[in-house]
């Protein structure tokens, strides 16, 4: 995969969103019983968005240059896009308006002050990632929690590579199928934001050549924001962990996001996190991936 084709991104995103909406869902009469297209016709989308058919056809062919915010919002309404899809559409339009190609790499390190903030968070796993979902910095409990991901010696460790290419991911993530779908959606968002990042292009190429499931997920053009929610993990040392997560952009570090996992007070997950913290205080996270069973037996005494 040498580069990301911006026009193809726009074309396939818009056509895939159009294909999923029936005339009934859009409040339109479905004339005739044999429609030759899946979902809405281009003419119907143009009518719903209040633009000419020629103008919409030009946009769906990959040309969003010059599209105003009003037109884009009208398209959001016509295609019933959610928040993540709206953001992706606007990002694609901004990228289309860029006169110069910038091959900007996502950051892969943090300032010492950011690492100090991570280390000050002692009761919760915390780490910083970039848009490619490379892990660029962690605290001690974060390293212990994500030891299965860190078992791959490549650095920076990448969570999406782990999800799709490491068999251990199916055990580590309780709802692995959902995680796999979401992971591809997060990368699709980043491809819209930073389509000329050579490392992102290389990662997408690696996943596409080695994982049929990733190819299928990538072809869906689904997008999703990664802000907050729940993670259900099956850790090799402490077992099942049902955790809450929050993702927060770092204004002083453009392109980087702080992730923190927490457990509800008094829950089994809170007890398991405390157990993991006790282990992490005396062991290096790398030892966890080598002999997890021995580590937990030693800890539990």
Domains and CATH numbers, the chain: 6-96 (1.10.260), 112-300 (3.30.450.180)
**How would DSSP label each residue in 135-184?**
EEEE-HHHHHHTHHHHTS--SS-BHHHHHHH-TTHHHHBTTHHHHHHHHH
Listed in sequence order, the residues at least 6 apart from 183 whose beta carbon sits closer than 8 Å to its beta carbon are 133, 159, 160, 163, 164
Q: What is the pLDDT of residue 290?
A: 54
State which H helix or E strand residue 96 sits in. helix 83-96
Longest dimension (CA), the chain: 73
Residue 104 half-sphere exposure toward CB, CA atoms < 13 A:
15
- Cβ contact 85:72 at 8 Å: no
Q: What is the pLDDT of residue 286?
A: 47
Residue 19's SS3 state is helix
Q: Please report the pLDDT score of residue 282 as a whole number.
A: 75
Instruction: Round to whole Å and give the CA distance between 2 and 274.
Output: 46
Q: What is the pLDDT of residue 95?
A: 83
Angle between helices 212-219 and 198-210 (to 10 degrees): 120
CA–CA separation, 36 and 25 (whole Å): 18
Q: How far apart are CA 118 and CA 175, in angstroms?
A: 27
CA distance linking residue 57 with residue 69, whole number of Å = 18
Q: Which two tokens stand for residue 283?
A: 């062991």
Q: How far apart are CA 272 and CA 23, in angstroms?
A: 50
Tokens of 2: 């040498």
pLDDT of the chain, 301 residues: tens digit per residue:
567 888 999 999 999 999 999 999 999 886 656 677 789 999 999 999 999 999 999 999 999 988 999 999 999 999 999 999 999 999 999 887 654 555 567 788 899 999 999 999 989 999 999 999 999 999 999 999 999 999 999 999 999 999 999 999 999 999 999 999 999 999 999 999 898 899 999 999 999 999 999 999 999 999 999 889 999 999 999 999 999 999 999 998 989 999 999 999 999 999 999 999 988 887 654 454 455 444 444 444 4
Residue pair 142/118 in contact (Cβ under 8 Å)? The answer is yes
pLDDT confidence of residue 179: 97
């Amino acid at each position: 995969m040498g580069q990301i084709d911006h026009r193809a991104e726009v074309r396939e995103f818009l056509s895939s969103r159009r294909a999923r909406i029936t005339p009934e869902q859009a409040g339109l009469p479905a004339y005739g019983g044999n429609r030759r297209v899946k979902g809405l016709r281009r003419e119907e989308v143009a009518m719903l968005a209040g633009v000419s058919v020629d103008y919409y056809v030009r946009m769906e062919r990959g040309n969003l240059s010059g599209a105003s915010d009003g037109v884009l919002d009208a398209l959001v309404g016509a295609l019933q896009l959610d928040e993540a899809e709206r953001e992706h559409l606007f990002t694609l339009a901004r990228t289309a308006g860029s006169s110069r190609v910038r091959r900007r790499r996502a950051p892969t390190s943090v300032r010492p002050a950011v690492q100090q903030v991570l280390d000050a968070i002692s009761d919760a796993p915390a780490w910083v990632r970039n848009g490619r979902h490379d892990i660029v910095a962690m605290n001690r409990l974060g390293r212990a929690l994500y030891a299965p991901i860190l078992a791959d010696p490549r650095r920076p460790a990448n969570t999406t590579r782990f999800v799709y290419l490491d068999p251990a991911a199916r055990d580590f993530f309780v709802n692995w199928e959902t995680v796999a779908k979401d992971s591809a959606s997060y990368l699709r968002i980043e491809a819209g934001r930073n389509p000329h990042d050579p490392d992102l292009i290389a990662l997408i190429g690696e996943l596409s050549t080695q994982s049929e499931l990733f190819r299928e997920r990538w072809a869906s053009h689904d997008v999703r924001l990664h802000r907050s929610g729940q993670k259900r993990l099956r850790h090799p040392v402490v077992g099942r962990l049902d955790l809450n997560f929050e993702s927060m952009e770092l204004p002083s570090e453009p392109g980087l996001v702080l992730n923190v996992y927490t457990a509800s007070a008094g829950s089994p997950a809170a007890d398991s996190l405390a157990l993991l913290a006790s282990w992490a205080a005396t062991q290096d996270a790398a030892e966890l991936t080598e002999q997890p069973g021995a580590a937990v037996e030693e800890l539990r005494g």
